Amino acid sequence: MSAGGNSDARGRRIATRGRPRPPAAPVEASAQDDVGVEARVVAGLLLNAALERRNGLDEALSQPPARALAPVDRAFARAVAMAALRRLGEIDQILDRRLNKAPPEAVRTLLRVALAQTLVLETPAFAAVSTAVKLAERDPKTRPYKNLVNAVLRGIGRDGPGLTTAESNLPDWLAARWKAAYGEAALAGIALAARQEPPTDLSLKPGVDPAAVAEGVDGEVLPGGSVRTGRRGDIAAWPGFETGDWWVQDAAAAVPARLLDLKAGETALDMCAAPGGKTLQLAAAGASVVALDRSAARLKRLEQNLDRTGLTAEIVAVPAEDWDDPRAFDAVLLDAPCTATGTLRRNPEVLRATRPAEVAKLADVQHRLLDVAAARVKPGGRLVYCTCSLEREEGETQVIAFLRRNPAFRTVPADPAAVGAPAEALTPEGWLRILPSMWAERGALDGFFAARLERTALG
Ligand SMILES: C[S@@+](CC[C@H](N)C(=O)[O-])C[C@H]1O[C@@H](n2cnc3c(N)ncnc32)[C@H](O)[C@@H]1O
């Protein structure tokens, strides 16, 4: 029996007592009945929605037929789709070795869903294969391929998947960019981080004891004070959630707000604030915070988290460039809209959704927003610019161009140790370029770029 769980007679994962270890999948849908088949249909729909469009997976999850599934089956369908997305290159490599010619897309989807279960989630092979064959039977488009599905999956089960490389999961154009920007070793590390389901990181309210939170969730305290746990499942049931002791935020995402080094009583503007992890940090530092975002819907999450944690911020739903308010601030944070390629561990769909043309389009938006942010900084005040992108056009290139057109600003070099960032993230210019290949021994972290700038007292 494994330390973290076992399977019952129907192939469902069941919990065992003792120190909880994250199961390979949060849950297994039932294998022998129509519910198990339906969950796998939805897994295929979610996978294809993610491959088709940005945010496709989340949108599809909130609509029928995913919404009609029981929570346990919906969680299973999501876990399968996420596993397939993380390992898509490897799964296709394995399939292509077995297929003489490309099958219809609906058949490939069935096979991808089945392999995500057997190779990643450790679903018993009999359950994954029998449901895949049942699925093939149900649809007239896939019915003629029923025997092929059976033969391919049984063949892989019998002979093993063969060798695959983590880098095959990365689109060629992104891998080429990252190799050119960060080198071969970093690219290999990014690929390894991208194929793992990441742990969950918690940022704590001031006064909350990190060691006690870590003990409550079987986690560890990271440099910088975030708590990291491999626990899965409903976070609302974890100790400290209801009492508002913490909020979920990747350890790298917690770095930029710390760079502002806010003091109690200072004023701060979070200019692209939603859903609000960084606003909570600014409020927790005792600052008087304005949280601004163009999306009222995304700001709802911030409102809920402020209520839960008892922290306060003034929320304004408006595009930053249209904000008709004369105030300037001691500290301004611009966490700009970006391709989000740095979040590939948590959102593997960004690998498929990001298009080369988007990088340039978003770089224009960032350029514009940086100038709007600069105009809100008091003389002598600080501006932190950050993005969760691995693309230099959305990080270094932006700051270089900004400093050229704004001589009143200069870089104040970051101290990685003081803000909980890996030491190797520090660039020669004093900015932070955090890569998902860093802290590999601790479970990695999201990719982020962050620069701390200061307006001269006279500027
Ligand atoms: C990277 S997200 C911010 C994440 C947030 N800082 C956090 O830590 O949770 C970027 C945000 O920018 C917002 N946004 C995009 N264009 C904007 C604009 N012109 N003015 C204000 N907000 C904008 C988006 O709605 C989105 O919520």
CB 415, CB 427: distance < 8 Å: no
The rounded mean pLDDT for the chain is 92
In degrees and rounded to multiples of 5, residue 405 shows phi and psi of: -90, -5
**Ordered DSSP codes for 9-77:** TTS-EEE-SSS----SSS----SSSHHHHHHHHHHHHHHHHHHHSTTHHHHHHTSTTGGGS-HHHHHHH
Ligand 1 site, residue 277, Cβ cutoff 6 A: yes
Ligand 1 site, residue 335, Cβ cutoff 6 A: yes
Distance 321 CA to ligand 1 centre (A): 12
Residues 6+ apart with CB under 8 A from 183: none
Distance 334 CA to ligand 1 centre (A): 8
Band the pLDDT of 407: cuts 50, 70, 90: very high
Distance 157 CA to ligand 1 centre (A): 46
pLDDT tens per residue across span 112-139: 999 999 999 999 999 899 999 999 999 9
Pairing of strands 227-229, 200-204: antiparallel
Q: What mean pLDDT do residues 403-410 have? A: 97
* Bridge partners, residue 433, by sequence: 449
State the helix-helix crossing angle for 125-138 and 34-52, rounded to 10 degrees: 80
pLDDT score at 413: 98
Q: Which residues are catalytic?
A: 388
Which atom in ligand 1 lies closest to the alpha carbon of residue 335?
Answer: 6
Cα 22 off chain centre by: 18
Is the model's pLDDT at 3 over the cut of 50?
A: no
Which atom in ligand 1 lies closest to the alpha carbon of residue 257?
Answer: 8
Tokens 């490309």, located at residue: 102
pLDDT tens per residue across span 291-321: 999 999 999 999 999 999 999 999 999 999 9
Closest CA to 404 of 396, 394, 415: 396
Distance 293 CA to ligand 1 centre (A): 6
pLDDT score at 15: 26
Q: Hey, how many other C-beta atoms are within 10 angstroms of the C-beta on 363?
A: 23
Distance 75 CA to ligand 1 centre (A): 28
Q: What mean pLDDT do residues 319-333 have? A: 98
> What are the structure tokens assigned to 294, written together?
């163009």
Which atom in ligand 1 lies closest to the alpha carbon of residue 338?
Answer: 1
Ligand 1 site, residue 274, Cβ cutoff 6 A: yes
CA dihedral 89, 92, 94, 99 (to 10 degrees): -160
Distance 394 CA to ligand 1 centre (A): 14
pLDDT score at 457: 85
Is the model's pLDDT at 43 over the cut of 80?
A: yes
CB 227, CB 201: distance < 8 Å: yes
Q: Whose CA is nearest to atom 15 of ligand 1?
A: 337
Ligand 1: which of 55, 294, 323, 449 to mutate, most ligand atoms within 8 Å of CB?
294
Closest CA to 86 of 5, 226, 190: 190
Element (H, E) at 187: helix 184-194
Cα 148 off chain centre by: 35
Q: Whose CA is nearest to atom 19 of ligand 1?
A: 319
Q: Whose CA is nearest to atom 12 of ligand 1?
A: 272
Measured CA to CA, the distance from residue 10 to residue 455 in angstroms comes to: 64
Q: Can you give the pTM of this predicted structure?
A: 0.91
Band the pLDDT of 34: cuts 50, 70, 90: low
Q: Hey, how many other C-beta atoms are within 10 angstroms of the C-beta on 364?
A: 10
Q: Whose CA is nearest to atom 9 of ligand 1?
A: 276
Cis peptide before 413 (omega within 30 of 0): no
CB 42, CB 157: distance < 8 Å: no
Measured CA to CA, the distance from residue 125 to residue 115 in angstroms comes to: 9
Closest CA to 362 of 407, 395, 403: 395
